[in-house]
């Protein structure tokens, strides 16, 4: 792994927290604890740094540390994120000053090999993290983000210097040289290199690499720069606003090809977006609901008119089959905008009779500026599901897509602008969790709506608490699908397939625990396996493909590791169970639809959200028993029941602890019905009239019609 990528510049001139004028006392306390962690790691190392010892050092109780960070892992993750943010800010500042691609490469070198990097305290902290990244998924995730960001920036700048075919190799080599120089210096007692000499060596190395490579622009041949992927800025105030700052790449998970470079929104961009949103929101809220509705209706029409183009872009960015995106993703987004366009004119408060001398009324008012943070599985749909009710109610929105799928939200921003939504009312800010945190902690933002993992939901809630924001959380699930012995088995199998393999299983509401009555289990499995075997895994752009790529190679590894656990824990693999590489799929993240039978509640594949094409079949005989087992989870997003006995269907659904349920179907989500989770699967609802509650606040007004009597 690469140090320059993996770690952050530990104590650069730019302090991650310094420019943050929003530092509440809570932030100051967190920062003290992070500082104490850094001191502890530097002095006594990773193993000896316990939660109690760090608390003692900071002069607080271990309970307080647990309150802020959960456990030691949480504290270490926060510390690594903090240090990483410093590197990001230091790099961004240097990149802003650099003119031309060679100067930008040098800026990256200078940020990573700055004098502070060679400080002994700094080095020992980073070495401590280095040792742990391999053992901790949470730390590895932070590290991966920085690795990707460093390589994306090197590749971007090298495209202006060397031929396209050599960009990738040279970028990796430069990153490795930066790592190597720092590592060797940090591990050598005599300090072979310091910042100045390390930067000189790296600069000479880069020059030599560039000199030996084929130049980017050939005098005789085509301009290879034209072949570079496009670079997209943030969409703020109705237009793209390039900064030339730090960027990341988005890739097609089916081929590994880079689709585009995306500029990251830092504090300056988020502040600018909030300022412009404030102005836009006032104009927007002053329109009548009917006027807002007309504009939103136009946006829905534009989305539909561009269905095929947007579906293709979504397929490229997510790996989902075009046969799905053509009929679901864009259409569901357009349906949602159209639905709330229709509701906009009908938004109202109520009149309250208070007798002959007074009455009261309520006004339903917008919250102001709201934030939407999206997951990567339904990028455009999520952006629409959040923005449509928000805008219909007169709010402005800052939307941050997941960094793996940043493209279609930008198209939505273009469409809203074209439809006549005023400047600043819908803005797209791009980036990783740090950009998300800028939103969740911003005092100018009144609410945050997140779609993501349960762990992210908890962090968002903690961060939002600092400024007491409203939160809506659409989180993960491990939902049950129950097939009774009187069910129509063909329908039940169809339901189970819809519940597990749509979008290669990357659907939050999936019914991945399929409970089948023992009496019909053999017949059910026979039909199920026969249909799964016929499913077509392939190029997502091919209309015949039914199962496309997973979102990334990392996610594929996670899914494959669950399949391995399923086998190791004794589940019986009936079909699938492996990566698919044949017929040109070897560069992509493809996994065959997989069914395990003989599953029990003790198994990881039954307890944990996999978010891939892996179905676990469990057997049952008794209604009470299956309800208890179905509810035996912290999740509560969705549930389904297949039975011909409708009384039983309603009875069982009423007892299932889930927010979104189906009787004799699965994963159908009409916009008219509220969608969301119970227990740890979420808070609040999207869609339906229910979402209006989450994007408005009530003002109560008492109106006196008589004299005012006072006892004074």
Q: At 99, phi and psi to the nearest 5?
A: -115, 115
Could you tell me the smallest distance in angstroms from the CB atom of residue 611 to ligand NDP? 5
Could you tell me the smallest distance in angstroms from the CB atom of residue 377 to ligand NDP? 5
> Could you tell me which residues come within 8 angstroms of residue 399 by beta carbon, excluding any fewer than 6 positions away?
371, 372, 373, 374, 383, 386, 387, 409, 413, 426, 427, 428, 429
CA distance 553 to 587: 9
282 carries an active-site annotation: no
- Return the DSSP state at 508: T
For ligand NDP, the closer of residues 321 and 612 by Cβ is: 612
CA distance 290 to 36: 56
Q: What does the CA dihedral 613, 619, 625, 629 come to, rounded to 10 degrees?
A: -30
- From the candidates 386, 400, 411, 478, which is the catalytic residue? 386
For ligand NDP, the closer of residues 290 and 465 by Cβ is: 465
Tokens read off for 400:
């941050």
> Could you tell me which residues come within 8 angstroms of residue 688 by beta carbon, excluding any fewer than 6 positions away?
671, 672, 673, 674, 675
Could you tell me the smallest distance in angstroms from the CB atom of residue 595 to ligand NDP? 20
For ligand NDP, the closer of residues 9 and 381 by Cβ is: 381
Could you tell me the smallest distance in angstroms from the CB atom of residue 204 to ligand NDP? 35
Contact 549, 504 (CB under 8 A): yes
474 carries an active-site annotation: yes
Contact 682, 473 (CB under 8 A): yes
- From the candidates 474, 506, 599, 609, which is the catalytic residue? 474
Could you tell me the smallest distance in angstroms from the CB atom of residue 638 to ligand NDP? 9
For ligand NDP, the closer of residues 338 and 434 by Cβ is: 434
Residue for token digits 């005092």?
443
Q: What does the CA dihedral 158, 159, 160, 162 come to, rounded to 10 degrees?
A: 70
The CA–CA distances, whole Å, from 574 to 211, 316, 515, 577 equal: 56, 31, 16, 8
- Return the DSSP state at 675: B
For ligand NDP, the closer of residues 340 and 611 by Cβ is: 611
Residue for token digits 């039909």?
527
- Nearest of 451, 457, 478 to residue 609 by alpha carbon: 478
Q: Is the dihedral of CA 124, 130, 136, 140 positive or negative?
A: positive
Contact 686, 385 (CB under 8 A): yes
Q: Is the dihedral of CA 406, 411, 417, 419 positive or negative?
A: negative
For ligand NDP, the closer of residues 292 and 442 by Cβ is: 442
For ligand NDP, the closer of residues 170 and 475 by Cβ is: 475
Could you tell me the smallest distance in angstroms from the CB atom of residue 395 to ligand NDP? 19
Question: Pairing relation of β-strands 258-263 and 231-232?
Answer: parallel
Distance of CA 657 to the CA centre of its chain: 25
For ligand NDP, the closer of residues 254 and 637 by Cβ is: 637
The footprint of ligand NDP (CB under 6 A) covers 373-377, 400, 402-403, 432-433, 436-437, 440, 450-453, 456, 459-460, 474-477, 508, 609, 611, 637, 677, 682
For ligand NDP, the closer of residues 376 and 426 by Cβ is: 376
Could you tell me the smallest distance in angstroms from the CB atom of residue 705 to ligand NDP? 47
Tokens read off for 127:
């070495």
Could you tell me the smallest distance in angstroms from the CB atom of residue 270 to ligand NDP? 12
CA distance 406 to 410: 7
Neighbours of 705 (CB within 10 A): 10
Could you tell me the smallest distance in angstroms from the CB atom of residue 501 to ligand NDP? 16
459 carries an active-site annotation: no
- What contacts 24+ positions apart, CB below 8 Å, involve 55-62? 58/32, 58/33, 60/29, 60/32, 60/33
Contact 669, 688 (CB under 8 A): no
- Nearest of 438, 417, 442 to residue 427 by alpha carbon: 417
Closest residue to ligand NDP, Cβ-based?
436
For ligand NDP, the closer of residues 452 and 588 by Cβ is: 452
Q: Is the dihedral of CA 35, 39, 42, 48 positive or negative?
A: negative
Could you tell me the smallest distance in angstroms from the CB atom of residue 565 to ligand NDP? 18
- From the candidates 261, 423, 609, 686, which is the catalytic residue? 686
508 carries an active-site annotation: yes
Residues marked active site are found at 386, 474, 508, 686
């Amino acid at each position: 792994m690469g140090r320059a990528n993996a770690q952050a510049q530990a104590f650069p001139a730019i302090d991650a927290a310094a420019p943050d004028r929003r530092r509440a006392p809570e932030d100051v306390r967190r920062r003290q604890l992070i500082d104490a962690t850094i001191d502890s790691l530097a002095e006594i190392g990773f193993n000896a740094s316990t939660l109690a010892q760090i608390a003692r050092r900071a002069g607080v109780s271990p309970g307080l540390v647990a309150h802020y960070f959960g456990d030691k892992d949480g504290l270490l993750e926060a510390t690594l994120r903090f240090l990483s943010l410093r590197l990001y800010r230091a790099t961004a500042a240097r990149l802003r000053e650099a003119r031309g691609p060679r100067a930008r490469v040098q800026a990256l070198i200078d940020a990573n090999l700055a004098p502070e990097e060679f400080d002994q305290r700094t080095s020992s902290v980073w070495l401590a993290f280095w040792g742990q990244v391999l053992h901790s998924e949470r730390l590895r995730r932070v590290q991966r983000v920085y690795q990707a960001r460093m390589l994306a920036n090197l590749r971007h700048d090298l495209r202006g210097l060397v031929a396209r075919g050599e960009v990738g190799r040279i970028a990796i080599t430069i990153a490795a040289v930066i790592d190597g120089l720092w590592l060797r210096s940090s591990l050598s007692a005599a300090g072979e290199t310091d910042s100045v000499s390390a930067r000189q060596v790296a600069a000479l190395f880069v020059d030599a690499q560039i000199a030996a490579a084929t130049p980017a622009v050939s005098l005789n041949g085509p301009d290879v720069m034209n072949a570079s992927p496009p670079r997209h800025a943030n969409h703020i105030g109705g237009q793209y606003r390039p900064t030339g700052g730090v960027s990341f790449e988005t890739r097609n998970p089916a081929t590994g090809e880079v689709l585009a470079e995306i500029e990251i929104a830092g504090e300056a961009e988020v502040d600018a977006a909030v300022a412009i949103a404030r102005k836009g929101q006032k104009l927007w809220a002053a329109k009548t609901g009917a006027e807002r509705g007309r504009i939103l209706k136009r946006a829905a029409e534009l989305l539909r008119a561009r269905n095929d183009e947007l579906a293709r872009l979504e397929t490229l960015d997510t790996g989902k089959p075009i046969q799905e995106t053509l009929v679901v993703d864009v259409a569901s987004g357009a349906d949602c905008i159209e639905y709330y366009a229709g509701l906009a004119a009908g938004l109202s408060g109520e009149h309250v009779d208070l007798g002959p001398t007074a009455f009261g009324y309520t006004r339903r008012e917008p919250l102001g500026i709201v934030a939407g943070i999206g997951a990567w599985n339904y990028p455009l749909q999520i952006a629409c599901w959040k923005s449509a009710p928000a805008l219909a109610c007169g709010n402005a929105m800052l939307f941050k897509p997941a960094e793996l799928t940043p493209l279609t939200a930008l198209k939505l921003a273009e469409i809203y602008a074209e439809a006549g939504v005023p400047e600043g009312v819908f803005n797209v800010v791009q980036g990783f969790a740090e950009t998300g945190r800028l939103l969740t902690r911003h005092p100018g933002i009144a609410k945050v709506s997140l779609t993501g993992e349960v762990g992210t939901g908890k962090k968002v809630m903690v961060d939002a608490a600092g400024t007491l924001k409203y939160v809506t959380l659409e989180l993960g699930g491990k939902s049950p699908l129950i097939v009774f012995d009187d069910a129509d088995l063909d329908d039940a199998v169809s339901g189970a397939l819809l519940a597990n393999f749509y979008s290669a299983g990357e659907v939050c509401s999936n019914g991945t625990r399929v409970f089948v009555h023992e009496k019909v289990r053999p017949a059910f499995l026979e039909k199920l396996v026969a249909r799964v075997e016929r499913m077509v895994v392939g190029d997502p752009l091919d209309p015949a493909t039914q199962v496309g790529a997973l979102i990334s190679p990392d996610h594929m590894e996670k899914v494959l590791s669950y399949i391995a656990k399923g086998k190791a824990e004794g589940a019986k693999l009936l079909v699938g169970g492996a990566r698919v590489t044949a017929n040109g799929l070897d560069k992509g993240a493809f996994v065959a639809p997989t069914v395990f039978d003989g599953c029990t509640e003790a198994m990881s594949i039954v307890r944990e959200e996999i978010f891939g094409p892996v179905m676990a079949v469990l057997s049952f005989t008794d209604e009470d028993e299956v309800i208890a087992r179905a509810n035996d989870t912290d999740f509560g997003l969705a549930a389904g029941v297949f039975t011909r006995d409708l009384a039983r269907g309603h009875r069982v659904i009423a007892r299932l602890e889930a927010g979104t349920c189906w009787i004799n179907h699965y994963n159908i989500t009409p916009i008219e019905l509220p969608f969301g989770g119970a227990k740890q699967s979420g808070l609040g609802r999207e869609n339906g009239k229910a979402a209006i509650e989450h994007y408005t606040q009530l003002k109560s007004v008492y109106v006196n019609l008589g004299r005012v009597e006072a006892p004074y």
